[in-house]
Amino acid sequence: SQTIHQWPATLVQPVGSPLSLECTVEGTSNPNLYWYRQAAGRGLQLLFYSVGIGQISSEVPQNLSASRPQDRQFILSSKKLLLSDSGFYLCAWAGDEETQYFGPGTRLLVL
Amino acid sequence: SQQGEEDPQALSIQEGENATMNCSYKTSINNLQWYRQNSGRGLVHLILIRSNEREKHSGRLRVTLDTSKKSSSLLITASRAADTASYFCATDLSYGQNFVFGPGTRLSVLP
């Protein structure tokens, strides 16, 4: 069966520090991968999606970037965090059936 | 306003009652999906309805889709305390490459 992992589960970072969040998927090949951000009590904002290795589409211009170095690995990065980057970050994958399967999320607090 | 918007924003009912949530969207869609999120967790897929379908059932869930009105509804029958969660509709604009989530409905089922 397929599983999706995200780490870390929580992260507290100072403003201006770098960020690296990792997402890996097991049990499937060539998935579509997604990064979302969710503000407290709000819906999800699609940040990036990827249909293959090295292929990244950005939905919202910002100081975040994403990379897909391997088929089942998706990384969200920033060189310098802003206060507004705080939120709940969710990784998801989708296969042919178009349903998205979400990871447990990373709660990021930028101070 | 957003592509997908749920209504109401919050709903509080007694155990055993039915809960109805609505979702409106603006553009043509490939399919519409409903997801559930327990507090601080990832989203879980509930049901997918395609643009050529009008109604779909899954256990205690009933989803309708009216493409002429660009709206969908999610009905949870005989609600339980464990149904307490946030419910999101998501519209798939481009065959799995562009999902848009609404802000969600927070459902509280009181025992």
Q: How far apart are CA B70 and CA B5, in angstroms?
A: 11
- Phi, then psi, of B46 in degrees rounded to 5: -105, -50
CA dihedral A14, A20, A26, A32 (to 10 degrees): 110
Q: How confident is the model at residue B3 (pLDDT cuts 50, 70, 90)?
A: low
Low-confidence ranges of chain A (pLDDT < 70): 61
Residue A40 in contact with partner chain B when CB distance is under 8 A: no
pLDDT tens figures, B60-79: 999 999 999 999 999 999 99
pLDDT for A59 equals 79
Q: Cis peptide before A61, with omega less than 30 degrees from 0? A: no
Q: Which residue of A has its CA nearest to B92?
A: A98
3-state secondary structure chain B: CCCCEEECCEEEEECCCCEEEEEECCCCCCEEEEEEECCCCCEEEEEEEECCCCEEEECCEEEEEECCCCEEEEEECCCCHHHCEEEEEEEECCCCCCEEECCCEEEEEEC
DSSP letters for chain A: --EEEEE-SEEEE-TT--EEEEEEEES-SS-EEEEEEE-TTS-EEEEEEEEETTEEEESS-SSEEEEEEETTEEEEEESS--GGG-EEEEEEEE-TT--EEE---EEEEE-
Q: Which of B26, B30, B29, B11 is nearest to B75 (CA)?
A: B11
Q: Is A55 on the interface with B (CB under 8 A)?
A: no
In single-letter form, the type of residue at position B36 comes to R
pLDDT recorded at residue B1: 41
Contact yes or no for A69/A75 (Cβ under 8 A)? yes
Over range B72-93, report the average pLDDT.
94
Chain B interface, mutation test: which of A37, A48, A57, A100, most B Cβ atoms within 10 Å?
A100
Looking at the complex, report in whole angstroms how far the Cα of residue A18 sits from the nearest Cα belonging to chain B.
24
Residue A5 one-letter amino acid:
H
Contact with chain A for residue B88, Cβ under 8 A: yes
**Chain B contact for A94 (CB, 8 A cutoff):** yes
Residue A68's pLDDT is: 97
| pLDDT for position B36 | 97
Any B CB within 8 A of A56 CB: no
Cα–Cα distances in angstroms (integers) from residue B29 to residues B8, B35, B47, B81, B99, in the given order: 22, 17, 15, 33, 10
